Structure 1
Amino acid sequence: MEKQELLDKAKEAIVDADEEEAFHLILEAENQKLDLLDLLLLGFGAGNQEIGDRFDRGLLSLPELIYAAEVMKNVTNRILGILNSDGREACSFSAKGTILLATVAGDIHDIGKGIVASTLRTAGFEVIDLGCEVPVESILEEAKKRRVDIIGTSALLTSTMIEQKKLEKLLVETGEKKNFRTMVGGAPCTPRWAKKIGADGYSEDAVEAVKVAAKLIEEKWKK
């Protein structure tokens, strides 16, 4: 099976919430010595994005979304488990730190952030995942309590992106902006959005999130 065909089938497996097929594709990729992280991000991750888009458009019910999301979670754990057991890491960086992640208030999308969290942990970061629908006040409170280096927020709906802006405003108003680096992500987010609201970084996917996080940690330690 060619790599692109495998990626296409992986996407389809998530859309169809077919866990048995998904695990078969992981085994197939291992046998062919294909990059499992590519399979996770470009294959299964694409399927995860598709179910999120369908839900936003009203083409998928909440139970269907939850079921597909559970399959995605199990697939992610299986792949990252293989990478860790083989002594491999998704990425390797000398700069490590503590990152707090949360999906903002009003947004139930949690799986994409879960992939980012798992990949960051594999790369050696300590990750505190607050889950979904987290108010900005709670995000800041936990960040201060845990003394994290980076706050990363996810917004998968255009209607909830404003929460990321609210967090940046809260950080400035409370004088806490200097103590944390911030990252934003999610389907509607862009580098332009990050710059507009005052966030320090933006990542499109889990691998880029690790690179951005490492850069932000390095910048923080230099000051």
Structure 2
Amino acid sequence: MSTLEELSKAVIAGNEANVKSLTQAALHEGVKPLSVINDGLIAGMNVVGKRFKVGDMFVPEVLMSARAMAAGVELVKPLLAGGQMVNKGTIVLGTVKGDLHDIGKNLVGMMLESSGYKVIDMGVDTSPEEFVAAAQKNSAQIVGLSALLTTTMLAMKDTIEAFIQEGIRNNVKIIIGGAPISHTFAEEIGADGFAPDAASATELVGQLLA
């Protein structure tokens, strides 16, 4: 088994120590930094995403894998020439106003980052105005809204309204997710898409930016 294959397996296992040592081993063998990231670290995370989607892996395991992958990426980053890490697109992500839940949102952020997107994480309890300002400041192509409480679902509608009022609704795709959210609700409030889990959210972003 090649070092890159071992590295992918270590990411899938969420073994941060192994990921670090195998990342260094691959670099020592002369594997190109970008290949270490794409063919080792991200390749492993792609498997994690697929397993998570079909219910073979669960949130704690995915978080461990994402952390392990991030530790590997940090070791490789200094060796990359400026701008070598491909940024597939910029996404502003946050939990809507009145809602303090962030596990799902964090998972989506990690999956997107591991797939090559730049993620601006707004945290929790984010107002419509904050989403608009962040999207403008970072020239975001996509804004992702998360909510876990049925009482905060309407803050998603308010956020979309804020983009319309600012006259920039056509400049961004707005996607939503969270336990109480459905396709029907997404259509009702005029969102561009809905994702039931982190792996689906990553796929949806890819489709919207294609």
Unpaired segments ≥5 residues, structure 1: 1-24, 28-32, 46-71, 87-93, 219-223
Distance 1:203 1:138, change over 3 A: same
Distance 1:100 1:83, change over 3 A: same
Q: CA deviation at 1:37?
A: 3.9
Q: Which residue of 1 aligns with 2:64?
A: 78
Q: CA deviation at 1:44?
A: 2.7
Unpaired segments ≥5 residues, structure 2: 1-12, 16-43, 74-85
TM-score normalised by the chain length of structure 2: 0.66
User: Is 1:174 the counterpart of 2:191 in the alignment?
Assistant: no
Aligned-pair RMSD on alpha carbons?
2.6
- Pick one of 112, 119, 127 that aligns with 2:111: 119
Q: CA deviation at 1:77?
A: 4.2
User: Is 1:44 the counterpart of 2:58 in the alignment?
Assistant: yes
Aligned residues: 154
Q: Which residue of 1 aligns with 2:205?
A: 213
Counterpart CA distance in 1 for 2:194 and 2:49 is 20
- Pick one of 192, 196, 199 that aligns with 1:204: 196
Counterpart CA distance in 1 for 2:208 and 2:168 is 16
Kept in 1: contact 2:50–2:199 (CA 8 A): no
Kept in 2: contact 1:113–1:154 (CA 8 A): yes
TM-score normalised by the chain length of structure 1: 0.62
Kept in 1: contact 2:89–2:118 (CA 8 A): yes
Counterpart CA distance in 2 for 1:188 and 1:77 is 22
Q: CA deviation at 1:217?
A: 1.2
Counterpart CA distance in 2 for 1:77 and 1:168 is 30
Counterpart CA distance in 1 for 2:194 and 2:118 is 19
Q: CA deviation at 1:174?
A: 1.8
Q: CA deviation at 1:144?
A: 0.6
- Pick one of 73, 78, 95 that aligns with 1:103: 95
Deviations 1:158-217 (CA, angstroms, capped at 9, x unpaired): 000000001111111221101111000000001111111011011111111111101111
Question: Which AA in structure 1 matches 2:66?
Answer: L
Taking the TM superposition and a 5 Å limit, the aligned residue runs for 1:1-223 are 36-37=48-49, 42=55, 43-45=57-59, 72=60, 75-83=61-69, 85=72, 96-218=88-210
